[in-house]
Structure 1
Amino acid sequence: MRPVRVGAVRRHALLLVTTLAAAAVLVPIALAPIPKAPPVVEPSPGPPPTIAALYEKVAPTVVQVKITRYDGSVQSSAGAGVIIDEAADIITALHVVGAAKDVSVIFSDGKESKAVVIAVLADNDIAVLRALEPPQTVVPAVLGDGSKVRIGDDALVVGSPFGMTRSLSTGVISGLNRSLQVPGYAKPLTGLIQFDAAANPGNSGGPLFNRNGDVIGIVTAIANPTGFPVFSGLGFAITIDAAGGALGIPVD
């Protein structure tokens, strides 16, 4: 029988006690609940810009369209247009420039430039102009998403009604997917946005903005049961999605 070494037993006992003590300390820590991360609070969206601030933002994107007819007569406020890129390409209504011998556009800083038609979408009354001598600073508009337009949304129109350049009118979207037979077109214009912001001669070709300042349509016509060419609360715009066909953008 081998003798037992007392020192060794004590060392083993001490090691066992130390290990158990460490376990006694570690177990409660291992079982302690892990604190949850505080919930992420998303900042609430700020209020939309005021109408005045919105106008200041979008006004530089709008041009006045001036035409010279083949008989030599000049119409200084034939309509309006909206700048769509930094090359100073401009969307307007085809009926504004279709019968013109010469076209000029006047920018928000007062600079006037000759312009040429570079694309048309006749079925949608859309033309694209290119300014030949644009100003050094060109402010293109933001093109919106027509699929997100809803009845009741705010609507803003900027144009040159009766020669009153860069005039603002406000209202709401009154209807969607409207059809309208307009003079000079064999087929009715379809898929139109109806709005009640005031539009008059000189607004044609100008932009219809939403509350964010995005272009959602191009003003094309007004309807008046009396037959007079003045606003009666029924304005119509080609959707910016449809106008995209003249820009080489596929139309759904």
Structure 2
Amino acid sequence: MKKAPLYSRSRRGVAATDAPPPEPVGAPQEAPAAPSRLRVFAGRHERALWVAALLVLVLAVMSWRAAPKPPAPLSFEQIDHLVRQSIAEKPLASAGAKAYEKIIPSVVRVVGYDRAGQSGTDPHADRKPRRDTPGSDDARPKRDGGELPGFEERGVGTGVVIVDNGTILTNLHVVLGAERVRVTFMDGLEADAKLLSVMPEHDLAVLRASKIPDDLYAATMRSTADLQPGERVLAVGFPFGIGPSASEGVVSGLKREFRSPEGERMLTNLIQFDAAANPGNSGGPLVTMEGEVVGIVTAILNPTKQRVFVGIGFAVPIENAAQGAGMPPF
């Protein structure tokens, strides 16, 4: 007797075996699923939806076209033209003008006075105008000066404020022998000044004004350690009593020596410069193009007896001046 096979190798047999039994005739049919509300809405408003989509697309295109476009890169010629136009409309200030603007609030006019009518008996009278130094000059413009009744000007020089309490640096020969010294600040304030200390070996004197402006600024000082010949400098002062005046030049040399025509004094370690300096510039600052003081103008060299500038001036390095004023070295 044969056993019934557990499985069949015939696909047809398997398909026939696994096929679901046929539904009996007359069995009830399931109802189709109802359409969703979104489909119903889309079907009813299909035209309106297409119009809305078209409007959104049109608005997007218009916004894109109205958006600012990045500027096209400028050509070299256009850049050059714009730069020239800007400079023509507002010229750039020169380095010398910037240096002058920075130093001028610290510059003062220094005047030494004698009592009127006593010049002939003054023991210092014979020493006043006999040196080729910018401050001991014949440019004392007023006799029996109207600024101080009973006094006459013996000479005009320049000073520079180095401490904002009214401490002023000038040349010794500007104030030497003067019975009274007055200084005028850049805002027009005039004040008496007293002598604090002197450095004859450097022809320097330190003054202190009796009153000062509220907004007084001290000059910025710079070491001369890296100062080089050819570096541009500015001399600021009151040449022949006119000023404040500025002249620009260069450092011509370093560590120079100068002896007064009478051989009274030898000054050493001087800065030589060619910015114009004349009688009245003595004691004024020699500044860099950054407006920083590197020296104090003290003498001019002129082989003639005219005592005017011929191209060689000398300044005392600011390190010597700072030490004499009791300030720490650089």
Indicate the TM-score class for this superposition, using the shorter chain for normalisation.
0.7 to 0.9
In the other structure, the counterpart of 2:103 is 58
Check the 8 A contact 1:65/1:76 in 2, yes or no. no
Cα pair distance change 1:93/1:228, threshold 3 Å? same
Q: Does 1:85 align with 2:163?
A: yes
Deviation sequence 1:146-198 (CA, Å, 0-9, x none):
11111000110000001112100000000100001125764410000000000
Which of 1 and 2 has greater Rg? 2
Q: How does 1:107-126 map to 2 (within 5 A)?
A: 107-126=185-204
TM-score (norm 1): 0.77
Cα pair distance change 1:73/1:227, threshold 3 Å? farther
Equivalent residue of 1:96, what SS?
helix
In the other structure, the counterpart of 1:201 is 279
Cα pair distance change 1:202/1:142, threshold 3 Å? same
Let me know the Cα RMSD of the aligned residues. 2.1
Q: Any gaps of 5 or more consecutive residues in structure 2?
A: 1-91, 119-149
Check the 8 A contact 1:65/1:80 in 2, yes or no. yes
- In structure 2, C-alpha distance between the alignment counterparts of 1:193 and 1:83, rounded to whole Å: 20
Check the 8 A contact 2:198/2:324 in 1, yes or no. yes
Cα pair distance change 1:86/1:65, threshold 3 Å? same
- In structure 2, C-alpha distance between the alignment counterparts of 1:213 and 1:52, rounded to whole Å: 9
Cα pair distance change 1:142/1:251, threshold 3 Å? closer
- In structure 2, C-alpha distance between the alignment counterparts of 1:60 and 1:236, rounded to whole Å: 23
Flag the structure with higher strand content: 1
Q: Could you tell me which amino acid in structure 2 is paired with residue 79 of structure 1? A: G
In the other structure, the counterpart of 2:312 is 234
Which is further off, 172-181 or 63-72?
63-72
Check the 8 A contact 1:66/1:74 in 2, yes or no. no
Residue from 137, 141, 145 that aligns with 2:223: 145
Equivalent residue of 1:148, what SS?
coil
Q: Any gaps of 5 or more consecutive residues in structure 1?
A: 1-46
Q: Matched residues, percent identical? A: 45
Q: Does 1:216 align with 2:216?
A: no
- In structure 1, C-alpha distance between the alignment counterparts of 2:328 and 2:220, rounded to whole Å: 18
Q: Could you tell me which amino acid in structure 2 is paired with residue 119 of structure 1? A: S
Deviation at 1:245, TM superposition (A): 2.5
TM-score (norm 2): 0.59
Deviation sequence 1:62-119 (CA, Å, 0-9, x none):
0000110253653386100000011010000000001110000000011101000101
